[in-house]
């Protein structure tokens, strides 16, 4: 059959163009596939050759995470040695006194019937240790220790992009209340709590989470605090140009809310880790972290596993090098006596239970 020329050209266009488009897509795919194979071969050949030794003076991913905090003082060992020293008698006696004091305060304040909060605990049955993770109180040090106990290789920890908390929770999921109670009452198990001067921790958390406002959640909280308290703060402090909340506004936010609803970074110790319900066998302090951690490592026979990380620490300096006492005077100088009383109503139990003195802050605040 003979078609007219116009009709023939029309049929060619209709059928040929889709074929051309399909062919172009095929050629594009083959080009990128070939390029991918070539790059992969070059990469594999390069990796099989001589590799340049890693410069361990450059912080790895895990260390970078650790170096994000603390913002005030330090919550890590202050000694550069890799070996745990045998705890002396003074350390043993001091640790025993801390436990007795905590139990006495629990009785004095009628907190023995406190409900247990098992969510923040890490239970390592293999090594007979239980730890409650208080953020901004040696959490980076002991999170690293638990990841080592979990079996993670140090080189893996150095290159992984997962946060230490995520890694630890994969190996030590949140225990049930029943599991936690059974474990802490098992002979030979050490239950560990690490605390820090409460207001030093509070200021460190404020500077880290709200003053600079980096994570989206805290940006939202910062806007809420400013909206609620900026007018009153301006009357007390004068013009305020910062986007984030001042420390005065942050404290005003805290004392206007129930402590049970606090963020984990500034929740009171006695509510977050419920020491009156758990009866910790070791209460360590950031201020004496090296020797307290040595006691735990030696007592459990883990000194060969939990090698000291050898990080330099200056307990009385902030991360930016400023003197901690000077920072406390500066920030608490924004508060008045009524606000300090409100804070002590929240954190006073922690000061009393763990033997810290809040008297100095009365000299810092306004009349």
Confidence label for 308 from pLDDT (cuts 50, 70 and 90): low
Q: At what angle do helices 198-206 and 324-332 cross, to 10 degrees?
A: 80
Confidence label for 38 from pLDDT (cuts 50, 70 and 90): confident
Per DSSP, helices labelled H in 209-323 are: 216-237, 247-255, 269-272, 275-278, 289-299
Q: What is the pLDDT of residue 10?
A: 61
What pLDDT, in 10s, does the model give residues 247-271? 999 999 999 999 988 999 999 999 9
- Mean pLDDT across the stretch 284-290? 94
- Mean pLDDT across the stretch 321-349? 92
Q: What is the pLDDT of residue 58?
A: 33
Q: What is the pLDDT of residue 6?
A: 57
User: Rounded to an integer, what distance in angstroms lies between the CA atom of residue 259 and that of residue 267?
Assistant: 7
- Statement: residue 56 has pLDDT above 50: no
Confidence label for 18 from pLDDT (cuts 50, 70 and 90): low
Q: What is the pLDDT of residue 86?
A: 76
Of 219, 217, 212, 251, nearest to 232 (Cα)?
251
Comparing 253 with 217, which gets the higher pLDDT? 253
Of 52, 87, 74, 116, nearest to 321 (Cα)?
74
What pLDDT, in 10s, does the model give residues 131-174? 999 999 989 899 999 999 999 999 999 899 999 999 999 999 99
Q: What is the pLDDT of residue 27?
A: 79
**Range among 69-78, 80-89, 99-108, 208-217 rated most confident:** 99-108
Helix (H) or strand (E) holding 321: none
- Statement: residue 178 has pLDDT above 60: yes
Q: Which residues pair with 122 in a beta bridge?
A: 131
- Mean pLDDT across the stretch 16-20? 60
- Percent of the chain at pLDDT exceeding 70: 76
What residue ranges do the domains of the chain occupy? 61-361
Let me know how long the chain is: 367
Instruction: Tell me what the pLDDT averaged over the chain comes to.
Output: 83
Contact 123, 168 (CB under 8 A): no
Distance from CA of residue 174 to its chain's centroid?
A: 16
Which of 58-67, 127-136, 255-264, 316-325 has the weakest average pLDDT? 58-67
Comparing 118 with 23, which gets the higher pLDDT? 118
Of 71, 139, 105, 72, nearest to 356 (Cα)?
105
Residue 260 DSSP class: G
The maximal CA–CA distance of the chain, rounded, in angstroms, is: 111
């Amino acid at each position: 059959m003979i078609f007219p020329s116009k009709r023939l050209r029309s049929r060619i266009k209709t059928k040929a163009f889709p074929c051309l488009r399909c062919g172009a897509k095929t050629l594009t795919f083959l080009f990128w596939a070939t390029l991918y194979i070539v790059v992969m071969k070059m990469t594999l050949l390069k990796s099989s050759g001589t590799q340049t030794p890693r410069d361990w003076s450059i912080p790895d991913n895990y260390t970078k995470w650790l170096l994000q905090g603390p913002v005030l003082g330090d919550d890590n060992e202050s000694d550069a040695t890799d070996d745990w020293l045998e705890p002396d008698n003074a350390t043993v006696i001091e640790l025993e006194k801390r436990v007795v004091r905590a139990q006495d305060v629990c009785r004095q304040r009628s907190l023995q019937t406190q409900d247990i909060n098992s969510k923040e605990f890490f239970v390592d049955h293999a090594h007979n240790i239980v730890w409650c993770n208080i953020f901004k109180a040696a959490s980076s040090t002991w999170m690293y220790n638990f990841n080592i106990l979990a079996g993670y290789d140090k080189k893996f920890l150095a290159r992984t992009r997962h946060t230490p908390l995520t890694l630890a929770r994969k190996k030590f999921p949140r225990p049930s209340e029943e599991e936690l109670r059974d474990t802490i009452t098992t002979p030979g198990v050490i239950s560990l709590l690490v605390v820090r001067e409460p207001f030093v921790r509070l200021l460190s958390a404020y500077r880290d989470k709200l003053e600079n406002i980096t994570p989206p959640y805290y940006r939202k909280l910062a806007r809420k605090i400013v909206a609620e308290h900026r007018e009153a703060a301006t009357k007390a402090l004068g013009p305020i140009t910062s986007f984030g909340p001042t420390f005065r506004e942050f404290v005003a936010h805290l004392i206007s809310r129930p402590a049970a609803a606090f963020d984990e970074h500034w929740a009171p110790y006695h509510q977050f880790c419920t020491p009156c319900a758990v009866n910790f066998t070791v209460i360590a302090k950031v201020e004496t972290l090296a020797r307290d951690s040595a006691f735990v490592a030696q007592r459990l026979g883990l000194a060969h596993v939990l090698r000291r990380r050898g990080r330099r620490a200056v307990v009385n300096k902030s991360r930016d090098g400023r003197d901690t006492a000077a920072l406390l005077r500066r920030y608490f100088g924004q508060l008045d006596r009524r606000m300090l009383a409100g804070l002590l109503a929240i954190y006073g139990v922690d000061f009393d239970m763990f033997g810290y003195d809040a008297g100095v802050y009365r000299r810092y605040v306004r009349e």
